[in-house]
Amino acid sequence: MTDPLLRVENLKTQFFTDAGTVRAVDGISFEVREGEIVGLVGESGAGKSVASMSLLRLIEDPGEIVAGEITYKGETIFGLEEGPDGELREREDMLSNEEIRTQIRGNEIAVIFQDPMESLNPVFTIGGQLREFIELNRDLPKDAAKEEAIRMLREVGIPDPEQRYGEYPHQFSGGMRQRVLIAMALACEPSLIIADEPTTALDVTVEGQILELVDELQDKYDTSFLWVTHDMGVVAEICDRVNVMYLGEIVEQAPVDELFHDTKHPYTTALLNSMPRPDRTVGELEPIEGVMPEAINPPSGCRFHPRCPEAREVCQRVHPDAREVAHADGHPHRAACLKHDVFDAGYDESPPLETATQETAGVPAGGRSTGGPGGEDGATDLKDSVIEDGGEPTDGTRSDDRGETHE
């Protein structure tokens, strides 16, 4: 298999607030390959938007990427190494802010946000903004850029583009503005588009139009997408592979068919069971108990254990990382759940937990005594997969010389 377009490894993004450290993204790894639409799905607070914004280093103070590696076409967007004093510092080969801005953003990786008004300037015409963008990024003279802008507007389905070229953003409907943003994103023919809930604010028929458009454009330009959404329907509709996030972590990663039809993580299962369906009448919904806790003080062991219907005693103590539990379609199917054999954590022998009474239940300390993942996975995995209740992970230490990574 060829190298992935984008590779994210053990990414951690944290926010340093008065109340404490919010571990918004806590060690996620995933890839996007050429021509793929990869989903990053989760409920609010799962960390999916922070994760996607980290990819272009768009995290603002008090947030910071504190660990991990992001590579795009072999270039290092983010990477740390240990300095002579054992301190973490940015790697030599990491792209500078300037390089990210001029070489990557727009040209190579474009972003489409949920609210197009945030990306469009209300006092300039749609056409003017698009033309200028093309002029700047593609080095075209004004006339040619205008022609290209009109062509792009037509391409994304804006009716009467010559006329609408001269109109202002507020004269466009939400769906039309989102089309303009897609036109802008495509204008520089990027290889990857990060789409952060781009259809969430739209009506369902407009959403349908946009999804159709994305399909067509993707066929034509072979652009890859990282599609960030909370909507499992949209995921099923357009994604090739999916990453499910819960409380800062990727808990399941699979090709789309496996995710829905051979689900391996109890959170994904619970999410699917809690949804009303458009295609059939569901007698009773099965909600997930409780609410997602805050990322400032995540539960010990498996972060889903206070709400998990399959939780056992061991789940309070052992923190599962996402491991390959099956293989499908040439891709790994990963899940971060101790019930799978590869974890060898003593799940089967462990007594079930009563989910309802759990939230306040005291967790016995010193959780390492029974079982614990060892064996074939070796010591490195052990270090990562067991985090003591409340203990700060050692690799989350913040280094001081990294202030300049932010704009």
Partner 1 sequence: MEHAATTEVRPMSERTHTESAASETGATEPTASDETVLEVDGLSKYFTQGSGFFAGVSLDFDRFPPIDTEQERVKAVDDVSFEIRRGETLGLVGESGCGKSTLGRTILRLLEPTDGSIYFKGEDLADIEGGELRDKRSEMQMIFQDPQSSLDPRLKIGQIVEEPMRAHGMLDAGGREQRAKMLLEKVGLDPHHYNRHPHAFSGGQRQRVNLARALSVDPDFIVCDEPVSALDVSIQAQVLNTMEQLQEEFGLTYLFIAHDLSVIRHISDRVAVMYLGNIVELADKEELFENPQHPYTEALLESIPVPDPRKKGARGVLEGEVPSPVDPPSGCRFRTRCPKLIAPENYDLTDEKWAQTRSFMRAVKRRTFEPMPAERIRREFFDGDLPRGEAGEIVAEAIDVLPAERRRPDETAPESADGWTEATDLLLESFAQQSICARERPAYELEAEYGTAPHYAACHLHR
Applying CB under 6 A, the residues found at the interface with ligand SF4 are 266, 302, 304-305, 308, 310-311, 315, 320, 337-339
What is the smallest separation between the CB atom of 230 and partner 1, expressed in angstroms?
7
Q: Which is nearer to ligand SF4, 227 or 304 (CB)?
A: 304
Given the complex with ligand SF4, which of 217 and 244 has the nearer CB atom?
A: 244
Q: Residue 385 Cβ, how far from partner 1 at the closest point, in Å?
A: 26
Element of type H or E holding 300: none
Residue 308: contacted member of partner 1, ligand SF4, none (CB under 5 to 8 Å, by partner type): ligand SF4
The strands making up 331-335's β-sheet, listed across from edge to edge, are 109-112, 192-196, 224-229, 37-41, 241-246, 249-255, 331-335, 323-328
Q: How far is the CB of 372 from partner 1 (least distance, A)?
A: 30
* Structure tokens given for 218: 């993707």
| Owner of token pair 């996007």 | 32
Q: Measured from the CB of residue 329, what is the shortest distance to partner 1 in angstroms?
A: 12
Which partner, ligand SF4, partner 1, none, binds residue 382 by CB below 5 to 8 Å per kind?
Answer: none
Token pair of 39, please?
Answer: 């989903």
**Residue 109, Ramachandran bin (φ over 0: left; ψ between -120 and 50: alpha; else beta):** beta
Task: Select from ligand SF4, partner 1, none the partner in contact with residue 315, using the beta carbon and a kind-dependent cut-off of 5 to 8 Å.
Answer: ligand SF4
Residue with tokens 């290092």: 76
Name the strand (E) or helix (H) holding 43.
Answer: none
Strand partners, 255: 241
Q: Which does 357 bind (CB under 5 to 8 A by kind): partner 1, ligand SF4, none?
A: none
CB atoms within 10 A of CB 142: 11
Tell me which of ligand SF4, partner 1, none is bound by residue 55, counting a contact when its beta carbon lies within the kind-specific cut-off of 5 to 8 angstroms. none
The C-alpha atoms of residue 255 and residue 329 are separated, in whole angstroms, by 7
Instruction: Report the distance separating Cα 243 and Cα 290, nearest Å.
Output: 23
Indicate the residue among 28 and 210 with the shorter CB distance to ligand SF4.
28
Phi-psi category of 333—alpha, beta or left, where left has phi over 0 and alpha has psi -120 to 50?
Answer: beta
Q: Which is nearer to ligand SF4, 46 or 311 (CB)?
A: 311
Tokens for 59, please give them. Answer: 């995290």
> Which one-letter amino acid corresponds to residue 224?
S
Of 29, 42, 57, which is closest to residue 295 (Cα–Cα)?
42
338 binds, among partner 1, ligand SF4, none (CB under 5 to 8 A by kind): ligand SF4
Nearest distance in Å: CB 148, ligand SF4:
37
State the DSSP string of 297-340: SPPSSSTTTTT-TT-BGGGGT--PPPEEEEEETTEEEEE--TTS
Nearer to partner 1, 35 or 157 (CB): 157
Q: Between residues 136 and 365, which has the closer beta carbon with respect to partner 1?
A: 136
The size of the chain, in residues, is: 407
Residue 304 binding partner per list partner 1, ligand SF4, none, with a CB distance cut-off of 5 to 8 Å that depends on partner kind: ligand SF4
Give the Cα separation of 269 and 325 in Å (integer).
16
Q: Do 60 and 5 touch, CB atoms closer than 8 A? A: no
CB of 166 to ligand SF4, least distance (A): 32
* Contacts of residue 221, Cβ cutoff 8 Å, sequence gap at least 6: 186, 189
The entry of ligand SF4, partner 1, none that residue 60 binds, CB within 5 to 8 Å by partner kind: none
Q: Measured from the CB atom, is 137 or 199 closer to partner 1? A: 199
Least CB distance to ligand SF4 at residue 204 (A): 18
CB nearer ligand SF4, residue 240 or residue 313? 313
User: Please, what is the minimum distance in Å from the beta carbon of residue 30 to ligand SF4?
Assistant: 19
Phi, psi (degrees; rounded to nearest 5) at 60? -105, 155
**Residue 175 near residue 209, CB atoms below 8 Å:** yes
- Work out how close the CB of 377 gets to ligand SF4 at its nearest, in angstroms, rounded to a whole number: 15
Q: Which is nearer to ligand SF4, 179 or 265 (CB)?
A: 265
Q: Name the packing angle between helices 204-221 and 174-187 (round to 10°).
A: 10
Say if CB 306 and CB 299 are below 8 A apart. Answer: yes
Q: Which does 175 bind (CB under 5 to 8 A by kind): partner 1, ligand SF4, none?
A: partner 1
Contacts with partner 1 by CB under 8 A lie at 43-44, 143, 146-147, 150, 154, 157, 159-163, 173, 175-176, 203-209, 211-212, 230-238, 256-257, 260-261, 270-272, 274-279, 281-282, 284-288, 291-292
When the beta carbons of 223 and 268 are compared against ligand SF4, the nearer one is 268
243 phi and psi, to 5 degrees?
-115, 125
Cβ at position 155, least distance to ligand SF4 in Å: 29
